[in-house]
Amino acid sequence: MSSSPLASLAGKRILLGISAGIAAYKSASLARLLKKTGAEVRVVMTEGAQAFITPLTLQALTGEPVRTSLLDPEAEAGMGHIELAKWADVILIAPATADLMARLAHGHADDLLTTLCLATEARCVMAPAMNQAMWRHPATLANADRLGQFGWTLLGPDAGDQACGDVGLGRMLEPEAIFHQLSETLASSGHPSVEAMTIHRDLAGRHVVITAGPTREALDPVRYLSNHSSGKMGYALAAACAARGATVTLVSGPVSLPTPPGVERQDVTSAEEMLAAVESRLPCDLFIACAAVADYRAAHVAEHKLKKTEDESGLTLALVRNPDIVATVAARADRPFTVGFAAETQSLETHAGSKLERKRLDLIVANDVARGDRGFGSDDNAATLLWRERDETRRQPLPLQSKRRLADAILDHVVERLP
C-alpha cells in the first residue's frame, strides 16, 4: 500500500477521455490536478466534446498534442490509436455521457475514444455526467451494470443542480472528488479499491433512508449528552447504497464528514429532530438505523448555563426516554425493510438478538465497541449479522475490514432479503 493515495498517481500514464457533455469544461481542472501529481497525461476528445472546450486548452495544460480523430493520416501511419491504447496505464473518461456509456457497453468502436477503450488492457475508469432522468432510465442503469461487469470503475455520478435546471442524481463529480477517488482506486498496487467501485446496480430504483452519527441532547445552552459515534459507518453505508444505484437520504447527527457523492443529506441534532426528519422521508424501501441515538434526554433544558454550586453532593439530572426511532419505523403499516445496529460492550449476540426480536427488525448488525481497534471513531470495523429465518435466529460474522468494505458486505446480505 502506498504511504499516500496521491502517491499512486505519480508517474502514471493517464489517458483522459472527454465526451460531449456540458461538464467537459471541468476536465481542464482535472487535467491540471493530474499533472500536478507527476502523472503523464494525454487527452482524447470526441467530436462533440470540442463544442464545449477546445483542444488547445487541454494541450496547454498537459503539454501534449490532443487527439480528436480516429482517421488522422499522420497519427495512423504508425497505428497511433493502438500505440495510445498500449501507452496508457489508466483510461479516465470524464465526462462520460449516456451515449458514450451505451456505445462502450455494447462494444462499439466508431471513434478514437471508443476504439482505444476496446484495444486497451489499461485500468478503465469513468465519471458519468447527464440529466437526472437520463441517469435513472433503465437503459442507462443497465449499461452501467454491464460496464461494471466488463471491469469499468464508475466514479459517481453526484446529486445536485444541473445545467438544464433539473435537480437530482446525474451530474459529474467535481474534479477534486474524481482526483481523490481515482487516487484511492490506484493506491493498492494498481488494483481497484472497493471504496471507489460501482459494480452492482442492485439497488437501482430503491429509496434508502439512513441515519448516522450521534445525537446531542441539550442540558443547557452550552452542555449536552452525547456519545462517541463518528458517523463513519453510516456515511460508508450511504456511499455504498448510492454506488449501487439507490436514491439515498442520509439523516445525520453532528459529525465532521463530507456528504458522500450522490447522497441527499439532512442535518439534525437531537433524537426528536432525527425521528421527525426520518418520518418526513417515509415511505421508503429500505431503512438503515445506523445512528447512535441517545436513549435519554433532559426532562427540562435549563434556560441559562447551569452553575456549579457549593453543595458537595453533586448535581442530579432528571432524564426522560427518547423516542425509539428504529422501532417506530419498524412498527409502521407501510414499514420498509428495516436494519438496526447494536453497539455493545458485552454479551454481544445476546443483546443484539433481543433487540432484533423486540423491535421487529429484519436484520441487525451487532458490533463490539469495547475494543480499541474497531467501532466508534475507527476507520475499520467487524460485525455479526443476525436475522430471523424459519423461526430461527441466523448469524453471519463479518471480519475486521474498512467500514466501506463492511458496508458493501452488509448490503450484499440486505439485497438478498429485500422484497
Q: Which residues are annotated as a binding site for CTP?
A: 295, 305, 323-326, 341, 355, 359
Rounded CA-CA distance 228/250 in Å is 19
Neighbours of 326 (CB within 10 A): 25
Of the candidates 169, 105, 102, 93, the residue with the CA atom closest to the CA atom of residue 131: 169
β-partners of residue 374 are: none
Residues that constitute the known binding site: 295, 305, 323-326, 341, 355, 359
**Annotated catalytic, 164?**
yes
Cβ pair 162, 168 in contact under 8 A: yes
The CA-atom distances, in angstroms, between 151 and each of 133, 224, 299, 308, 368 are: 25, 49, 56, 63, 35
Identify the active-site residue in 124, 164, 241, 284: 164
Nearest to 290 by CA among 208, 412, 388: 208
Based on DSSP, count helices (H) and strands (E) in the chain, helices before strands.
14, 19
- Pairing verdict, β 13-18 and 90-96: parallel
> Rg of the Cα trace of the chain?
25
Catalytic residue positions, numbered: 164
